[in-house]
Chain A
């Protein structure tokens, strides 16, 4: 008898017991059921997430601006929001997304009931132009090649009756269609903005260029908000300040960001443009800043 035959004969007697097979079958069935349950929960969660994303997507995609604070109910922007495709990549049916009522020009900005779900409301150029108060805070002329790209009204507290309550904002974005843009955010000035209020005659309160790198080490802590994100009273802002904020750069386009307090409202400008003079002209001609 060969070794092979002996070995085979030996191993023929080695077999799993019935109890082992039964126990294994039960464990497999239990594990399979648990895996199916987990999969169902995961699929349900995915479906809910997709639904939530679909509901929240219009506000994000129509503005396409991650700078804007949370649009839906004041919630912090999530990763899905930040990475949501921009308006150029997504095509929506405007008639389905747009709320059915026209904008009320009697309201300072728009009829709050239009955004009764507490979400954002996109305005067309005509709707924007019809609002007298809006026009008061927006530049009547624009830097060369700039055009209106989007105007979005954020009303996170739709139930409130006060027009333009704290937290409300109107974001208007102009672009040259390529890389340059100007964004104007209009919102009520609140006490929370006070630490950012800079003094025009004290450049150390608003000119970042006066500080050495790293800024976190050189800017005093109590001046951090002023220097990094300054707000100027409307009567103090000048062309020289805007020019200094834009800084000197070998590159054509400059990036700058600052706010202007105009009465009870705060106008925040974020711009990327080589035409600083044109930018200042546009800002300075804003009726509310006259």
Chain B
């Protein structure tokens, strides 16, 4: 549980305990949140912004978790929602043209990353939840408030598109029976 009872402790101890709990909470969920944010945005800067939004939203909402699974599901769902709103806000912003001195991309992307970048952001989220987080189509549907059949269809399309991009390298034995 995130917020444990230390109500009778002195204020200093309570502050310390609360700080420790926050650190533990971040440590438990940082990778989960950051990876999903990165999967959708494909950009570390955006992923960092979303990452902070998610954890600050935790402070605003102060959810109570019944189990570790509940906590994980909450962070996945909120991250998915934050990425959605982040992208909506980003689309509304005017983009300044890059100057000549703008830094180049830090690292060259892998072939897989290049292929994923060609997918729609929503499809990347599905791919991530399915292949990395190991959720089923039904669980993803529940998480994203969609119908399971819709999730299956979108996953199928995403895989088909990846197969076209990656050609021979694409997944042997990774058929959609798992869905």
Partners in one complex: yes
Stretch at the interface among A8-16, A105-113, A238-246: A8-16
CB-CB contacts below 8 Å: A63-90 with B: none
Q: Count of chain B residues with Cβ under 8 Å from any Cβ of A?
A: 36
- The contact of A3 among B19, B22, B52, B162, by CB within 8 Å, is B162
Say whether A24 faces chain B, with CB atoms less than 8 Å apart.
Answer: yes
| Count: A-B pairs, CB below 8 Å | 80
**CB of B97 to closest CB in A, whole Å:** 27
**CB of B108 to closest CB in A, whole Å:** 13
Residues of B within 8 A of A7 (CB): 112, 127-128, 131-132
Residues on B facing A (Cβ under 8 Å) = 18-19, 22-23, 26-27, 30-31, 33-35, 38-39, 47-48, 51-52, 55-56, 58-60, 110, 112-113, 127-128, 131-132, 162, 166, 170-174
Residues on A facing B (Cβ under 8 Å) = 2-4, 6-8, 10-11, 14-16, 20-21, 23-25, 27-29, 31-32, 35
The 5 closest A-B pairs by CB, nearest first: A3-B171, A16-B34, A31-B59, A7-B131, A3-B174
B interface: dominant SS? helix
Residues of A within 8 A of B127 (CB): 7
**CB of B126 to closest CB in A, whole Å:** 12
Residues of B within 8 A of A32 (CB): 18, 22, 59
Name which of A16, A29, A31 has the most chain B CB atoms within 10 A of its CB: A16
Q: How far is the CA of A15 from the CA of B132 in the complex (A)?
A: 14
Residues of A within 8 A of B60 (CB): 31, 35
Quick check: B171 and A4 within 8 Å, CB to CB?
A: yes
List 4 additional A-B contacts (Cβ < 8 Å) besides A10-B110, A31-B59: A7-B131, A10-B112, A21-B30, A28-B55
Quick check: B113 and A10 within 8 Å, CB to CB?
A: yes
Q: How far is the CA of A21 from the CA of B51 in the complex (A)?
A: 9
Q: Given the known A-B contacts A16-B34, A32-B59, are A2 and B26 also in contact in the complex, defined by CB atoms under 8 Å?
A: no
Quick check: B174 and A4 within 8 Å, CB to CB?
A: yes
Quick check: A11 and B132 within 8 Å, CB to CB?
A: yes
**CB of A22 to closest CB in B, whole Å:** 9
Quick check: A8 and B131 within 8 Å, CB to CB?
A: yes
- The contact of A16 among B39, B51, B131, B172, by CB within 8 Å, is B51
**CB of A31 to closest CB in B, whole Å:** 5
**CB of B160 to closest CB in A, whole Å:** 12
Q: How far is the CA of A208 from the CA of B88 in the complex (A)?
A: 61
Closest to A16 in B: B34
Q: How far is the CA of A6 from the CA of B172 in the complex (A)?
A: 11
Quick check: B30 and A3 within 8 Å, CB to CB?
A: no
Q: How far is the CA of A4 from the CA of B131 in the complex (A)?
A: 6
Residues of A within 8 A of B171 (CB): 2-4
Quick check: A24 and B34 within 8 Å, CB to CB?
A: no
Residues of B within 8 A of A6 (CB): 112
Q: How far is the CA of A7 from the CA of B39 in the complex (A)?
A: 11
Quick check: B56 and A27 within 8 Å, CB to CB?
A: yes
Q: Given the known A-B contacts A2-B172, A21-B30, are A29 and B112 also in contact in the complex, defined by CB atoms under 8 Å?
A: no
